[in-house]
Amino acid sequence: LTWFDRTGKSLGSVGEPDENGLLYPELSPDGRRLAVLRAVQNNADVWLMDLLRGGLTRLTSDPGLDQMAIWSPDGMRIAFMSNRKGALNLYMTSANGAGGEELVLESPAQKNAQDWSKDGRWLLFVENSVQSARDLWVLDLTSPDRKPRPVVNGPAEERGGQFSPDGHWIAYEPNESA
């Protein structure tokens, strides 16, 4: 993994080359750790890289595909998607690995976490179902029922969703012309 400045100049590398590959890097809010997908012996899991001291630590260890980690704003939790129950569902775990993994949202549709609101309340995700293209949804993590709510649900694909810094807007990529 290599750092670049805005002009494209290489500023240095992080970690050692990894024969298993490091995919989908996600920098922690404090910039000290990196969550990545790493497959070891055909088991893809979320791993954490310590950017100050070096080294990798496995965060998830289920035989299913665990990937696409998103850090909570305080850096204490990580949301990720996993196919351990068939469809890609949303899970959450403590960033230090204590307490196990919690199933956050399960449905037949594939889901992929996109962003976490700065106040920690909303988890933004893309759902890809048979009935529609990729749509943006939010999940209220403070609500006991955790019922997902549509953000953009139309015939076009919407993905790459990100909350604005103040949390009042969501930017995303549609695949249709204006």
Which of 73-82, 88-97, 168-177 is the least confident region?
168-177
The 10 Å Cβ neighbour count of residue 83 is 15
Rounded CA-CA distance 154/138 in Å is 15
In this prediction, residue 90 carries a pLDDT of 97
> What does pTM read for this prediction?
0.89
In this prediction, residue 18 carries a pLDDT of 77
Tens of pLDDT, residues 63-82: 999 999 999 999 999 999 99
For residue 45, the Cα-to-chain-centroid distance in whole angstroms is 12
In this prediction, residue 51 carries a pLDDT of 92
* Both structure tokens of 59: 């965060």
In this prediction, residue 1 carries a pLDDT of 82
93 vs 160, more confident: 93
The mean per-residue pLDDT over the stretch 27-37 comes to 95
Q: How far is CA 134 from CA 3, 37, 109, 120, 158, in A?
A: 31, 22, 10, 24, 6
Is residue 33 pLDDT above 90, yes or no?
yes
| Long-range contacts of the stretch 87-93 (C-beta < 8 A, 24+) | 87/111, 88/112, 90/123, 90/125, 90/139, 91/66, 93/59, 93/60
Summary mean pLDDT of the chain: 90
Tens of pLDDT, residues 15-27: 777 777 789 999 9
